[in-house]
Chains A and B, each alone.
Chain A
């Protein structure tokens, strides 16, 4: 087995209806080169397996403390503490805890094993126009695994999507072209400096890749996460519009309203969540954004 045969998989979601057309299986890979402040899935940012601890399930029975080989666990004031810096995600505490308070995010999977799960729902894809979506994290960051997965899917006639932030060398996108039927391409911020501030990288390479894919006549859905108080600015919304003018043949433009579910997950894996005060977007606000975009002339936009 070559190295690329295995990938660090966060999760495999069957009967997924929100990551591309039809009924799909979405494979979430772990690891992302960006570090968006609002990340929905903070557990997908790191490339390594991670321990998650849900304190609400814990009864402080101490079984895990005894089991942990790295002394990452201790009980302070009748409360279990996890020292995430010491933890190597060996999983011994997961087995030890009778209350299922722990879980490990991330597991190595082979391409074959993933594909055999994907193929179980082949009939549903065919009937609904669905298929496989590779998502993340950032699938381009585990490029060889992603490529092999997509190739394998295509040999079995499965429709393929990739959900990407666009931040990867352009030649890699070139290699993918034959194996991806639809790109779900994130567009987070128009201003390059703001982009760097929010995500840790400039949007220059991202825009180059978008341009490249568009010129190669790839099918692209532009997905725009809107975070209240962060990028719901006039300049970004008009930036979205400008982009749609430039690329009139995009398959669709979708607005993705913010959901605060990232917060609890971040806490459970020992991370601080910077946007801890922002509430989940109300449907009314989401439709306001839509109408604003329409005001600017963006007709074809929809909620993702």
Chain B
């Protein structure tokens, strides 16, 4: 293969594409080695070309076989080395390598002996060449010092960087309109313009190769489907016909734009896999018309369409992105309301019947929408599914417009991704690439810069607790501590984009993201319309409740001295039970109590506004807090000492924007009244977990509806509802085998209850059930 250099002239690229061999990732690291070889060969090439050639090396090898029930082709098993926007493990994004897994396979004798040296050499090569190492190497000295660890799950600290470019929501609608041929045409036109104007035409050449990779994948699957169809022609004629249909569909989408729901889904699905796009955006917008047309023409019955969607849902579930897999339905700003609503109902039925964790179906609601949608949503939730997650457009659209500084019509295109961060569909990016533990920041401040769990310096030394004259002095120190770390995190985000943009073009995102083609630039190299970022905050409520208790007991009632409080916290309250009791009896967020809620607002407003102001210090279009959750409240809680809200050392912190577990004692309306208080226009998403009893859904439906409607009218942004009884959960803990059907939301994602850690299970149990 000819080596490509930037000096290559315009016109057709001189890329002698080798015929693709369809060996899959085989345990002998064949594809990983080939990928590494390709990368080395193209080291000095244009980054977009290098990426395209690497994609060519890894695909379709990393795709796996069509399974017996699949109605669409497209399953993937990523290798230990590869290229991805997103993360494959904690520090694996961009050009990634998973050396630990490789070394383990070698130790376990799982690699062919004759390959061992080559594989070890490959792992050594990536050690400094993978994108996350390059990113870390770019940190300024002080930043590296205060962010010593990347292991946010297993080590103690205030803030940690995350290595990923997650949450891409590409323009699938455009993909549907153009199809593969149309996309190729657009790329070629753009290349011609770039050549004329002296722009970066190599980018478009690389895009062409990328589309070629997609076509390769289609052809690979077409072949295997035909082969399989032939194999089972006698034994299973029905399946054989299905497989032939899959093959024909694959063939069709390579030669023309999709015309049916089946073709549309197939194209969308393979694109999302090959581009490692893990969130699926406004699906009712880009698939609704296909569905309506097929129904109208008699091509599909509702039942057949449901089967297709169920198969897609299963493929998404098996892909297992863990915290992504968002499918958005409903909401304002859809051009095809009627057919989209129809599709939305079908999607909810698919989620009702395919009892899986993904897709994370999310319904946007608004005043005046078709009431059938909400009815259906409550039906599905009431059956114990945690979907759809409900988003309130009436509040979120104005909030997004203000928060992102965009017009209302742009804000109508907001989409939640992952655990609940908002971005503007195919226009903005907001990868959450940092976490900050606010409770830890308070803890380190109270200990004058030291982390009580490690006894090491973990933050700024801003004075001894006993020397703060009043609460405001403590508050100022806490703020300073948080701000010190936020500055680093924003800088880190900027560096992440910079290193990413220098390393690769992220072709599959760049092809379908505004305004990359128009500007002739890759997404992170100046192409994207709005390049924003987000910072995940944890322990917000626990920090606020701790501050409330300190304010009341240490500074107002003066029943506890700073020394006594520190002694109580440092001993995890052993021998200081009275102090713990006093702390616990102080007001807590989530009870519609002004003192507690005001403190939460103070914490919220401070961190949100300070984070927002980073846009002035960085080149980011926006930088926002997200108050989401996965199981980070538990994991980071394990690294956090006892706190002044009465929480014990190394136990979970509050979840998302929710009151701390068991602290919302005044009932559901009080809890909802509290959680509508924080301003939604100064962050980019906050999750609101709620658990309802089955009884409420079954016997009190009108009251339930009234409750939710009032909550949304009062400014509720979102609702993630789990329906379950405490008894169910207790039984499930004793007898997991029988309770696999119980799903709970652990903040940002749904999980099988019985598969969660005991700690997380206890956390969920301790949260109030209504």
Contacts and interface: CB of A to CB of B under 8 A. Distances in A.
A302 to B, nearest CB: 12
B395 interface: no
B714 A123 contact: yes
Given A98-B581, A121-B670, A128-B706, 14 more contacts: A14-B667, A14-B668, A15-B668, A15-B670, A17-B703, A22-B702, A123-B714, A124-B710, A126-B710, A127-B706, A127-B707, A127-B713, A128-B703, A130-B703
B709 interface: yes
Nearest to B578: A98
Contacts of A14: 666-670
A23 B578 CA distance: 37
Interface in B701-759: 702-703, 706-707, 709-710, 713-714
Given A120-B592, A123-B714, A98 B669 contact: no
Nearest to A123: B710
B703 A120 contact: no
Contact of B702 (A99, A121, A123, A128): A128
A100 B696 CA distance: 30
Given A98-B577, A98-B581, A124 B706 contact: yes
A73 B707 CA distance: 45
Contact of B669 (A124, A126, A129): A124
A66 interface: no
Count chain B CB atoms within 10 A of each CB in A13, A17, A99 and give the residue with the most.
Answer: A17
Interface string A95-139: 010111000000000000000000011011011111000000000
Nearest to B708: A127
A15 B667 contact: yes
Interface of A: 13-15, 17, 22-23, 96, 98-100, 120-121, 123-124, 126-130
Contacts of A15: 667-670, 707, 770
Contact of B706 (A13, A22, A98, A120): A22
> Closest 5 A-B residue pairs measured CB to CB?
A128-B706, A98-B577, A14-B667, A15-B667, A127-B706
Contacts of A98: 577-578, 580-581
B673 interface: yes
B665 to A, nearest CB: 10
A121 B702 CA distance: 17
B700 interface: yes
A13 B670 CA distance: 11
Contacts of A123: 710, 713-714
Contacts of B770: 15
A40 to B, nearest CB: 18
A303 to B, nearest CB: 10
A123 B670 CA distance: 12
A23 B709 CA distance: 13
Count chain B CB atoms within 10 A of each CB in A99, A128, A129, A130 and give the residue with the most.
Answer: A128
Count chain A CB atoms within 10 A of each CB in B696, B700, B703 and give the residue with the most.
Answer: B703
Nearest to A99: B577
Contacts of B668: 14-15
26 contacts: A14-B666, A14-B667, A14-B670, A15-B670, A15-B770, A17-B703, A22-B702, A22-B706, A23-B669, A23-B703, A23-B707, A98-B577, A100-B581, A120-B670, A121-B669, A121-B670, A121-B673, A123-B710, A123-B713, A124-B706, A126-B710, A127-B709, A127-B710, A127-B713, A128-B707, A129-B706
Contacts of B577: 98-99
Contacts of A22: 702-703, 706
B760 to A, nearest CB: 25
Given A17-B700, A128-B703, A120 B669 contact: yes
Nearest to B711: A124
Nearest to A128: B706
Interface string B64-102: 000000000000000000000000000000000000000
A127 B710 CA distance: 7
A96 B577 CA distance: 10
A22 B577 CA distance: 42
Interface in B126-157: none
Contacts of A128: 702-703, 706-707, 710
A27 to B, nearest CB: 13
Contacts of A121: 669-670, 673
